[in-house]
Amino acid sequence: MVPVGILASGRGSNLDAVLDAVDNRYLTKCEVKIVISNRPNSPALDIAKKHHVQTIALDDKGVPKKSWDYDQKTIAALRSHDVAPKDGLIVLAGYLRILSEQFVDLYPRRIINVHPALLPSFPGLDAQKQALDYGVKVTGCTVHLVDREVDHGPIILQTPVAVRDDDTVQTLSSRILREEHRILPEAIRLLTEDQLKFEGRRVLFKT
Ligand code: GRF
């Protein structure tokens, strides 16, 4: 079983999708050991509790968005719940902090993120608004490995979502979110079932 730690800052709908996938036994090769939030009031913590998963809040009020000092607390919490660099998996599910290089280097190919655009287009915040403002006809979502650059690591899965003429940020975001809820558990399944291999930036199916 792969020990999984999930980091979330906000609403927690992706977290809910992953924990549903565990409960429904779509995910059978992993165990979610801990959900950590940098915001003590994050609804994600309530969602974790609903699924009987342990939670830790590490308030980052006043802490810079990227901080090795702060990350060491997160790492200690992960390690104390068996999410270790040798065999653990860390899932960023709406985690609004930037991981320090030291954190990323400690868990190579063991941290994934879900982003609401087809990377490398529209990295960073407000990706759905960026896509609408740019005028693209197709956007979507990406699950990728986390490396030292924001929204940049090797791509595991992507799904396109068509932009409609009458879309608002809200309507577009909600159609993208439905796809996020599908591909994030799928990516976790592929990784924890050891179905993938890595060739440079390319993530391929083992044959
Ligand atoms: C999602 O759109 C995710 O792609 C982005 O932040 C949002 C988090 O939503 N990184 P939720 O907290 O999972 O509902």
Please report which confidence band the pLDDT of residue 207 belongs to, taking 50, 70 and 90 as the band edges: confident
Q: What mean pLDDT is predicted for residues 36-43? A: 98
Q: Render pLDDT for 124-166 as a digit per residue (tens, 0 to 9).
A: 999 999 999 999 999 999 999 999 999 999 999 999 999 999 9
Q: Is 30 a residue whose pLDDT tops 90?
A: yes
Q: Is 199 exposed, middle or buried (0-12, 13-18, 19+ CB in 10 A)?
A: exposed
Ligand 1 site, residue 151, Cβ cutoff 6 A: no
Q: What mean pLDDT is predicted for residues 59-65? A: 98
Q: Is 205 a residue whose pLDDT tops 90?
A: yes
Q: What mean pLDDT is predicted for residues 175-181? A: 98
**Looking at ligand 1, which residue's alpha carbon is closest to its atom 3?**
94
Residue-level pLDDT at 86 = 96
Instruction: Give dist(CA 111, CA 53) in Å, integer.
Output: 19
**Looking at ligand 1, which residue's alpha carbon is closest to its atom 1?**
94
Q: Is 72 a residue whose pLDDT tops 90?
A: yes
Instruction: Give dist(CA 55, CA 63) in Å, integer.
Output: 20
Q: What mean pLDDT is predicted for residues 14-26? A: 98
- What are the residues facing 115 on neighbouring strands? 142
Q: Is 15 exposed, middle or buried (0-12, 13-18, 19+ CB in 10 A)?
A: buried
Catalytic residues: 115
Residue-level pLDDT at 164 = 98
User: Distance of CA 202 to CAs 12, 154, 157, 186, Å?
Assistant: 29, 6, 11, 17
Q: Is 40 a residue whose pLDDT tops 90?
A: yes
Q: What mean pLDDT is predicted for residues 84-102? A: 98
For 194, other C-beta atoms within 10 Å of its C-beta total 10
Which atom of ligand 1 has the smallest separation from the CA of 8? 12
Instruction: Give dist(CA 140, CA 117) in Å, integer.
Output: 5
Using an 8 Å Cβ cutoff, are 176 and 139 in contact?
yes
Instruction: Give dist(CA 121, CA 134) in Å, integer.
Output: 10
Instruction: Give dist(CA 129, CA 173) in Å, integer.
Output: 9
Sign of CA dihedral 103, 183, 37, 61: positive
Residue-level pLDDT at 118 = 99
Residue-level pLDDT at 84 = 98
Sign of CA dihedral 89, 93, 95, 99: positive
Ligand 1 site, residue 13, Cβ cutoff 6 A: yes
Tell me the percentage of the chain whose pLDDT exceeds 70: 100
* Mean pLDDT, the chain, integer: 98
Residue-level pLDDT at 22 = 98
Answering whether pTM is above 0.85, one says yes
Q: What mean pLDDT is predicted for residues 166-185? A: 98
